[in-house]
A and B are shown apart, each in its own frame.
Chain A
Amino acid sequence: MFKVTIDGIPVEVEPGTTILNAARQIGGDIVPPAMCYYSKLEGSGGKCRTCLVKVSKGSEKDPRPMPKLVASCRTTVMDGMEVQNITSPEVIEARKGVVEMLLINHPLDCPVCDQAGECHLQDLGFEHGSAKTRYEFDRRKFERIDIGDKIQLHMTRCILCYRCVFTADQITDKRVHGILNRGDHAEISTYIQQAVDNDFSGNVIDVCPVGALTDKTFRFKNRVWFTKPVEAHRDCDHEKCNGKVTLWYKGEDVIRVTARKDVYGEVEEFICNTCRFDKKKTADWVIEGPRKVSHKSVISSNHYDTLKPLPVVKTNPLLQEANKDQFERETRL
């Protein structure tokens, strides 16, 4: 076991663990943010540089600090390593630069984007970004692309984290989409907009940290923070899918189904397309209870811990009589 110190907090981890995962074992504020690294996807990480940390002591044998900031998702720990994340002003400054870089081509159309409210780039920008950009040129522009009839790709919002490519590589049998062109011209694409028709293709929506890949069945249906997340499961016929999902309710209707995500926004288990796109009735699911939402998240606003808020009016005949006009109304208030 290697002993590592991250921001002054010691932790013992297996050899071969990355700094990021060591920090996640400690948890809390000292965990570096990650846009491209995804613990469920092999080979992910090392692209976005948001998880940069400073190694102030290389190891017990060689205590020299590392000359530059390192990407914590790709750097494995050494015995006696000392890492600085939020305690180092250099790291904070570098991360601010990375956010500015990621936002260079991002359209900032959050009022329109369906990902707003659960977007990692929004969180990152809110926490580390500056309000102004120094970039003076036109942003990249792309037309919307339909990948199949259920998934939509907005290439303008993409930050090229490659998560969806790794998902396609890993959980589908044959690779159907990837990155075309190089450098500034790089873009996610299915060759000649070929439909992705795999049972697990919908998971690229969940792994996307921004709103580049979105659910077409949820497009503009509602804002995330007006919906109520509820944990549910069903017996799925697909052998690789165990049917544990989060249902997003608006009133009585399920308007979206996603996989369950952990504290780092990573899905716990990938779900199949049948569960995601076709089962949108309460009768299809066994409800477990409301999903716990962090009070820091905008999704937690106006949410109750019980499944239904107290039906004061519905049980009281006096109040019912007084609200007769309201009940007779055709459209919703």
Chain B
Amino acid sequence: MEPLSNKRKVLDFKPLTLLERSYLPEIAKGLSITMKHFFKKPVTISYPEQKREFSENFRGQHSLKRDEEGKERCTACGLCALSCPAEAITMTAAERQPGEENLYREEKYAAVYEINMLRCIFCGLCEEACPKEAIYLDGDIVPTDFLRKDFIYGKDKLVEPPLNQ
């Protein structure tokens, strides 16, 4: 058959010489490469004790922001959940009661706000959609866990800590 390309090579196996049969020079060559790497700077780091610097546009775990006075910015408008391509966000809205003005910025707030971190693809569309600048993906890498239910992050994990702490 005519070859399609001229890349075909015909191998010829010659019998090994005595030196080659002893394998010693090849072992020495290989070990020298190994030894050379002992003195090189390692390319890996020992995460989690040591962490690399994130790039500026890195998107990690979500956080729900507070405003200058420590009130929650989120008003449960649902635009983050609407824009979410993975449908990871759910929320339940509630009406702010008199006396809670120092807790929530608008008359409506998110009573329940949950993000399923297994569904989230960290695309950042929720951040873009938010009209109140309430959600940012500025956290760390989301930690691992054993149970699926523990990946559903509620307000306890997402909301920023209050200002005075």
Q: Footprint of B on A, CB under 8 Å?
A: 109-112, 116, 219-223, 225-226, 298, 301-302, 325-326, 329, 331-333
Q: Footprint of A on B, CB under 8 Å?
A: 75-79, 81-82, 87, 90, 93-95, 106-108, 112, 114, 116, 131-132, 147-149, 152
Q: Which residue of B lies closest to A112 (CB)?
A: B108
Q: Which of B95, B131, B147 contacts A220 (CB under 8 A)?
A: B95
Q: Across the interface, do B77 and A110 meet the contact criterion of CB distance under 8 Å? A: yes
Q: Which residue of B lies closest to A331 (CB)?
A: B112
Which residues of B are found within 8 Å of A226, using beta-carbon distances? 78, 81-82
Q: Across the interface, do A111 and B95 meet the contact criterion of CB distance under 8 Å? A: no
A116–B132 CA distance with the chains assembled, in angstroms: 15
A298–B79 CA distance with the chains assembled, in angstroms: 11
Which residues of B are found within 8 Å of A325, using beta-carbon distances? 147-149
Q: Across the interface, do A332 and B90 meet the contact criterion of CB distance under 8 Å? A: yes
Q: Across the interface, do B114 and A111 meet the contact criterion of CB distance under 8 Å? A: no
Known: A112-B107, A116-B77, A223-B77. A302 touches B87 (CB 8 A): yes
Which residues of A are found within 8 Å of B148, using beta-carbon distances? 325-326
A116–B82 CA distance with the chains assembled, in angstroms: 13
Q: Which of B78, B87, B108, B149 contacts A225 (CB under 8 A)?
A: B78
A220–B107 CA distance with the chains assembled, in angstroms: 10
New A-B pairs, 17, CB < 8 Å, besides A223-B78, A333-B116 = A109-B106, A111-B77, A111-B79, A111-B106, A111-B108, A111-B132, A112-B77, A112-B107, A225-B78, A226-B78, A226-B81, A325-B147, A325-B148, A325-B149, A326-B148, A333-B90, A333-B152
Which residues of B are found within 8 Å of A110, using beta-carbon distances? 77, 131
Which residues of A are found within 8 Å of B131, using beta-carbon distances? 110-111
Which residues of A are found within 8 Å of B90, using beta-carbon distances? 332-333
| CB of B2, distance to nearest CB on chain A (Å) | 53
Which residues of B are found within 8 Å of A116, using beta-carbon distances? 77
Q: Which residue of B lies closest to A111 (CB)?
A: B77
Interface centre among A110, A298, A325, A333 (most CB of B within 10 A): A333
- In the assembled complex, 26 residue pairs joining A and B whose CB atoms fall closer than 8 Å, in A order, are A109-B106, A110-B77, A111-B77, A111-B79, A111-B108, A111-B131, A112-B75, A112-B77, A116-B77, A219-B95, A220-B93, A220-B108, A221-B93, A222-B78, A222-B93, A223-B78, A225-B82, A298-B82, A325-B147, A325-B148, A325-B149, A326-B149, A331-B112, A332-B90, A333-B116, A333-B152
Query: Can you list the 8 inter-chain pairs with the closest CB atoms, starting with the nearest?
Result: A111-B77, A223-B78, A220-B93, A112-B108, A111-B75, A220-B108, A111-B131, A220-B95
